[in-house]
Structure 1
Amino acid sequence: MCLRTPQEPGALCYTTMKLKEAIEEFKNWREFKVKASTVKGYDRELRTFCLFLRNPEIENIMFKDVMEYLNGKYELGWNENTFLPITMSLKKFFDFAQLQGWASFNPKLIPVPKQKYTMPRIITEDNYQKLLSIIPRNNDPRHIRNLAFITMLWDTGARNGEIVSLNTDNLDTGYCRAIVRTEKSQGRRPFRELFWTESTNENLKHWLEKREYLKRTITFREPNALFISICGSIHDTQGRRLQIKGVGEFLRRYSNRAGIPYQNAHSFRHHKGHELAGKGANNSTISSILGHSSLQSSMVYTNMFGKELEELYHKYCGY
């Protein structure tokens, strides 16, 4: 990791620097402040911006260049909610550039839109059963692993990244529970417990047995990882920890085979939150089980829609 001594705020910097190099310095700096996935997301957005501007000298970038970039995406029909991470990446980067004395405009000018509310995608009980029904019950380790993973998603409501981060020593199959590091905890609850049913526990035990057998033929790059990649010859992922995108791939494949809309991992999380709210759990309970960073994140699950709202209307209005 290469670091340069930051300039004093407001100091002038007469050394020219290409945007690509400035992005790299920003990346190195951010690695000390936030988690790796956040740094990776910022880096991806900034490199796209760099490609758009054809890697100019950072001192020559004007506010109008930023707006031209954002307006271009808008004209191409990019989803409104995708602008939040884009603008936040740009703002954080130019805040850093201003502290270094590189920026030629005030980063506060960069507009950061509010997140537009959209109805969450929630997997239904019917679609969940259809998904399970098309998973072959054979000796293929991929299907054994995937069945355990999917039933864990359903029972725990945990984030995709939280489940792939589990190690074998985090599990207590005797009591159907595990300890997981909570994503987005912001220091409030860095760890929490996950719980699951006996049927999911049996799926997990089956996978653990198969996992032990695989050690004879596969070199485990991350020996403690609970879920590992099995067929990864193309990208050299075999034996490594299963990745979030790998989960998305097998969920998409199973959804297509089941003839249902794509059920992503987060739709399981939304189902669990909605289920808890429907059974009377308050925001604090939902927040603790799902590992939300704030109670506000749990409030969406207390909102009733469609048939549920109609039934409540008739119940309380009497007609």
Structure 2
Amino acid sequence: MLQQQEVGRLVVPISMKEAINEFSNWRQFKVKGNTVKGYDREIRNFCLFLRNPDIVKVTLNDVMDYLNGVIELGWDPNSLMPRCMALRKFFEYLRLRGFTTLNEELIPIPRKQYKIPRVADEENYKKLIEIIPAESHDPRHIRNMVIINLLWDTGARNGELLSINIADVDLEKKKALIRTEKNRGSRPFREIFWTEETNQNLKKWMDKREALGNKVTFKDPEALFLSLVSCQAGQRLSVKGVGELLRRYANRAGIPYINAHAFRHHMGHDIINQGGSTADVMNILGHASVASSSIYTMMTNVELENRYRTFKGN
């Protein structure tokens, strides 16, 4: 806890590092763990930039210098929004605690720059799975194959897929119960479904996982997908770990990098192309509202051209 003395609204200055620790401890009771970690990371980066000043000495110019520095280093301009949101929440918390600090409302929230989302297609999906030895007994290949299969079949978020426990899986009905990441309030859980081919690969992984468990002690025995890296073996596989395996396979297959979210965009787009509604997209992908699903109704350039040619007749 912070060591401080208060007289009315007068608070003795403390270091930013101390304030971040208390903010994160308080924040964990309000939002999910990943959000706490994200905010904590962004605020600590700012703290490092300023070399851990007293919180009352932080100015708006400090914030603007930091944001400009991020852009100069080549970061995506869209990365500024979560940084600014984290800083706003942090300084709002300090103000409510009684500290005389920077007014959080002065921290700008940059407009998001729209970009055409990266969408996985069937050709690149096939190239990805073809690069994995089909008859391999290497547990990494077996695990990675079914992860890619599930991303393609379900459109689940990376973190949702990795949250699955063994007890959540129903191989007979080819489905699982997952914890929805961004709709925890009204719909904290939802079911995902997959194909028979994926089911066979999943069974193969679960058998291999059980065999491994007879030889080593898992640090996270409930997790479906485990890290197999020596220093982290037996722990639940991380989001970063999936990103790395996708990047590695994409490089080997000679295709552009496909992140986990590209599979999600494919699923949403495919549902609409098959005649589904935005409500179908919302329910299958676990969106909080139909508005979040509307992006998938947008046509790609090729689809737009084809529709135009149909209307014009040439």
Q: What's the TM-score bracket when you normalise by the shorter of the two chains?
A: over 0.9
The 8 Å contact of residues 7 and 100 in structure 1, kept in 2 or not, is answered as no
The alignment's C-alpha RMSD in Å is: 1.8
* Per-residue deviation, 1:262: 1.0
Which residue of 224, 227, 231 maps to 1:226?
224
Structure-2-length-normalised TM-score: 0.95
Which residue of 234, 239, 244 maps to 1:239?
234
* Per-residue deviation, 1:105: 2.9
* Per-residue deviation, 1:216: 1.9
* Per-residue deviation, 1:135: 0.1
How many aligned positions are there? 313
- In the alignment, residue 300 of structure 2 is paired with which amino acid? F
Secondary structure, counterpart of 2:10 in structure 1: coil
Unaligned runs of 5+ in 1: none
Structure-1 residue corresponding to 2:198: 200
Structure-1 residue corresponding to 2:149: 151
* 1:28 aligns to 2:25 (yes or no): yes
Structure-2 residue corresponding to 1:180: 178
* Per-residue deviation, 1:294: 1.8
Closer, same or farther: CA 187–3 of 1 in aligned 2, 3 Å: farther
Structure-1 residue corresponding to 2:44: 47
* Per-residue deviation, 1:179: 0.8
Identity in percent: 53
Q: Distance in 1 between matches of 2:43 and 2:204?
A: 44
Which residue of 203, 208, 211 maps to 1:210?
208
Structure-1 residue corresponding to 2:244: 249
Closer, same or farther: CA 229–105 of 1 in aligned 2, 3 Å: closer
Q: Distance in 1 between matches of 2:313 and 2:71?
A: 48
Relative to structure 2, which stretch is displaced further, 123-132 or 309-318? 309-318
Q: Distance in 2 between matches of 1:6 and 1:172?
A: 56
Report 1:257-268 matches (<5 A). Answer: 257-268=252-263
Secondary structure, counterpart of 2:26 in structure 1: helix
* Per-residue deviation, 1:282: 0.9
The 8 Å contact of residues 2 and 19 in structure 2, kept in 1 or not, is answered as no
Q: Distance in 2 between matches of 1:271 and 1:5?
A: 52
Unaligned runs of 5+ in 2: none
Structure-2 residue corresponding to 1:309: 304
* Per-residue deviation, 1:6: 11
Structure-1 residue corresponding to 2:292: 297
Q: Distance in 1 between matches of 2:184 and 2:175?
A: 23
* Per-residue deviation, 1:71: 2.3
Q: Distance in 2 between matches of 1:231 and 1:14?
A: 48
* Per-residue deviation, 1:78: 2.5
* 1:81 aligns to 2:78 (yes or no): yes
Q: Distance in 2 between matches of 1:291 and 1:255?
A: 27
* Per-residue deviation, 1:297: 1.4
Which residue of 91, 94, 118 maps to 2:91?
94
Runs of 4+ in structure 1 deviating by more than 6 angstroms, as ranges, are 3-8
* Per-residue deviation, 1:77: 3.4
Q: Distance in 2 between matches of 1:22 and 1:165?
A: 31
The 8 Å contact of residues 91 and 101 in structure 2, kept in 1 or not, is answered as no
Relative to structure 2, which stretch is displaced further, 309-318 or 184-193? 309-318
The 8 Å contact of residues 160 and 265 in structure 1, kept in 2 or not, is answered as yes
The 8 Å contact of residues 152 and 196 in structure 1, kept in 2 or not, is answered as yes
Report Cα offsets for 1:16-73 as digits up to 9, x if no partner: 2011101111111101101111111111111111111111111111222212222222
Closer, same or farther: CA 230–50 of 1 in aligned 2, 3 Å: same
* 1:141 aligns to 2:136 (yes or no): no
Q: Distance in 2 between matches of 1:254 and 1:64?
A: 44
Structure-1 residue corresponding to 2:123: 126
* Per-residue deviation, 1:263: 1.1
Structure-1 residue corresponding to 2:111: 114
Which residue of 51, 54, 67 maps to 1:70?
67
The 8 Å contact of residues 4 and 11 in structure 2, kept in 1 or not, is answered as no
* Per-residue deviation, 1:116: 1.5
* Per-residue deviation, 1:114: 2.2
Structure-2 residue corresponding to 1:168: 166
The 8 Å contact of residues 218 and 234 in structure 2, kept in 1 or not, is answered as yes
